[in-house]
Amino acid sequence: MDTKKNSELVTNATGGVYHLNLHSDEIAENILLVGDPGRVKKVSSFFDKIEIHKENREIITDTGYYRGVPVSVISTGMGTDNIDIVVNELDILANFDLESKIEKREKKSLNLIRIGTCGALRADIPLNTPIISRYAIGLDGLLYFYDTPEKITNHELATKFMDFTDWDKSLPTVYACKSSEALDDKFDESFLRGITITAPGFYGPQGRSIRLSPKFPNVNSKMSKFEYNNCKVSNMEMESSALYGLGQSLGHNTITVCIAIANRANGEFVSDYNKSMENLIESVLNTITK
């Protein structure tokens, strides 16, 4: 196999992968991804013990054990652009020799589980509801920069969504991906399954009007009424489409589990969701390690 150029597979002065500042033996097969760097400590506080702690920019990693099972938690920062970095570099750690920069013949599949917050788009979804993203619809366009396997994207879902919402041609063409069944099947029915909209920003792309008004002010209302395969649009956040598209294209299992800290249809917001997040973290850890 070809040796990757130094400018393509970038490592730092210690020989670790560039942004994550990690070596291959410093991550577990089960990896929890959180947007907020401060949430890493909250997750790893549940661990039996922590063996690795690394920090670089907004990316913090703790690797240890939960009930005897190796687990890592890594902060990604916000947005699909950060997911692009983290997922690619995790795959490098799993499937490349960092010293020779040659791809390994035997591939390793990681379990990438995003734990985050989101805004519910339907009025009937209570605050603090845990939501699994059965499907993720990306408004960001990131996946179009990759030559991904045809089976990863759901073109029927993307087309039906654009037709239903009268999607404006000046906006990026959407793409859609499904969660990994291997992970989805682990979670019980206490989690709401829905279609998640991944937006490329927090304000205008999510329909918020502060000083600049969104160009398409009614799009959230349209999206909230969309349904596919008996699955309704449930929520909006900023990472899942890239996680699903990139992660699965590279052979990894992916899923997103969020709590709804806002309800956009009702104009509600929970400022203190600490307890709900702790409950979600413990529930996810118990689910993936059982």
The model's pTM is 0.96
Give 1's pLDDT tier (boundaries 50, 70, 90): confident
Structure confidence at residue 271 (pLDDT):
87
Question: In this structure, are residues 120 and 279 in contact, taking their beta carbons and an 8 Å threshold?
Answer: no
Cα torsion 195, 187, 118, 128: sign: positive
125-136 tens-digit pLDDT: 999 999 999 999
- In this structure, what are the phi and psi dihedrals at residue 29, rounded to the nearest 5 degrees? -70, -35
CA gap 222, 219 in Å, rounded: 5
What contacts 281, CB < 8 A, 6 or more positions away? 32, 42, 43, 46, 115
49-89 tens-digit pLDDT: 999 999 999 999 999 999 999 999 999 999 999 999 999 99
